[in-house]
Structure 1
Amino acid sequence: MISPRRATWLLRALGGLCVLAFWLAGPTQSSFAQGRLDAQYEATLAGIPVGKGAWTIDISDDAYSASAFGGTSGLLKAFASGSGTGAAQGRVVNGALVSTNYNASTTTSKKTEAIRMVLTNGTIKEFAIEPEPPVDPDRLPVTDAHRRGVLDPMTGSMLRVPGTSDPLGPDACHTGNAIFDGRMRYDLKLDFKRMETVKAEKGYQGPVVVCAIYFSPVAGYIPDRPVIKYLAAARNMEIAFAPVAGTRILVPFRMVIPTPLGVAMLEATQFITTATPPRVAKTN
């Protein structure tokens, strides 16, 4: 039986799970292609459905957009309902995704919160949380330095692999980066674990590269929070990445985080990717 207190802990843990899903490797100067992803995911705890979501990504030759939404379902919804949305837009410059805007909102039975950020070349120029949260003396402060050289979590929804060989391989996991989500600054690091073959109920079936993922909080968090301590200490979290057709971008197909309540998993039930033909310049 899931108690209300444990359900609240699980919501926070699943929130961390989704944040970890939205992260990005460092810039590359390789050529860039165009494509689209339409995916749907289901979250489970110990095999029991607790949430659903969807994720859409559009990439053109000079711009991109990404959006996602999700919410609790099944047994968990009866104890602690919640939903959230996120979106980002930016430019494609020399093959790199350069974020310009990020917005996210979460709604629970107790409150609704919205986060907005404006970025320029990896630096947070503007950000706001509405309603503005009260100052918590236990929260480690975020400095201006912490908001430079970072990625927003939605632009971080894509793992870009340089080069011309098959992007699905061990090298895809040899990376890490800095993320700022509007409140917290943290680092993520990947390590290669194995190759697998997956099959969605609708769409993609084929190989994925499975990476171990490690979470290191830097600033903007409360050190005594159980979910922060748990995620920072975890050494058994993993993500399986699948390719977006027509690009050298990989995105999470499945995520696994063992928790005190059982294994939490976020897995694609639909994963439809299509390559988009490049635009042809008009001639007279």
Structure 2
Amino acid sequence: MLRSSLALFASLAVALPTAAFAATPQSFKGEYTVSILGLSVAKATFSSSYEGDTYSIDGSVSSAGLATIFDDTRGTVSSKGKISGKQLQPQAFRADYKSGEKASMIDIQFANGTVIATKVVPAPKKRNPKNWIPLGASHLASVLDPMAATVIHADSLDKVCGRTVKLYDGEMRANLTLTYYSKGSISVRGYKGETVTCRLGFEPVAGYRKNRKALKYLKDRSRIMVTFAPVGQTGVYAPIHATVSTKIGTLTVSAERFEATE
């Protein structure tokens, strides 16, 4: 449960404040917590830097609180690429994590927005073709890694939602559909102001087992809400809060810090 929570946490929360088209280097930092049933189960810190049309993001994620008794998971993630038009165009993504004594790694390489190589350690188990939805070449074009997928470039808060994001996490391709829900405000270290909340629809596309109960629940029954905040005057919006309903309770991701460091 914790490993899947950490993966979902990373997918929702790693998008840090982005200074698009920065003429001079700019850096930002975000600190997040994830909790379920009111209990903290994970923490993460991410630092990002932007210069011209390039970006890089580095972070660490670890289990926390009572969760460390049952599953001590720690890891690092990184993403780098270019800013093309109103989107990030990843060049490389890597996640290394260790759960107990078991080490795992995901490495994805891109060229012009298309995945050209993926390495997963340990290697995935042999798939049953009867219930496996395979990835095709078309599934790996114009996709974003889990870090770049949550950064939204828009003209205003009103235009953050109403879009579909193509996500590739090293195994599965999924579409994340953002639908407008409400506006509000929030105050955390580094930011106080307006927000917009989108309801997120999850649709697995390929690279998954079609009878997997967890994915079916996310697709058909889970209520996923993501709140975005503007990053200065850059025209970029990043997640500052999110909730995901699960079979055992609501998973909550919250930013405790959301600010520029330079």
TM-score by length of 2: 0.89
Task: Look up the match of 1:18.
Answer: 10
Task: Look up the match of 1:90.
Answer: 81
Task: Look up the match of 1:222.
Answer: 209
Deviations 1:127-172 (A, max 9, x none): 11123222121432111121112111222241111x4xxx2x2321
Task: Look up the match of 1:208.
Answer: 195
Task: Considering fraction of residues, name the structure with more strand.
Answer: 2
Q: Structure 1 regions of 5+ residues with no counterpart?
A: 1-8, 25-30, 277-284
Matches within 5 A, 1:88-167: 88-94=79-85, 96-109=87-100, 111-137=102-128, 138-161=131-154, 163=155, 167=156
Distance 1:60 1:87 in 2: 17
Q: Structure 2 regions of 5+ residues with no counterpart?
A: none
Letter in 2 for 1:218: V
Contact residue 32 and residue 95 of structure 1 kept, 8 A: no
Task: Look up the match of 2:174.
Answer: 186
What percentage of aligned pairs have identical amino acids? 27
Letter in 2 for 1:140: I
| Residue 212 of structure 1: how far off its partner (Å) | 0.5
Distance 2:194 2:109 in 1: 36
TM-score by length of 1: 0.82
Letter in 1 for 2:88: L
Partner of 1:230, secondary structure, is helix
Distance 1:262 1:131 in 2: 30
Distance 1:97 1:248 in 2: 13
- Larger mean CA deviation between 209-218 and 104-113 belongs to 104-113
Matches within 5 A, 1:268-279: 268-273=255-260
Q: CA 1:23 to 1:66, structure 2 compared with 1: closer, same or farther past 3 Å?
A: closer
Q: CA 1:66 to 1:49, structure 2 compared with 1: closer, same or farther past 3 Å?
A: same
Distance 2:141 2:242 in 1: 28
Q: CA 1:116 to 1:43, structure 2 compared with 1: closer, same or farther past 3 Å?
A: same
Deviations 1:211-260 (A, max 9, x none): 10011001111223232111111352101111223421111101101222
Give the number of the structure whose alpha-carbon radius of gyration is greater: 1
Distance 1:156 1:58 in 2: 17
Letter in 1 for 2:4: R
Distance 2:70 2:233 in 1: 42
Q: CA 1:122 to 1:209, structure 2 compared with 1: closer, same or farther past 3 Å?
A: same
Letter in 2 for 1:187: N
Root-mean-square deviation (CA, aligned residues, Å) is 2.2
Aligned residue pair count: 255
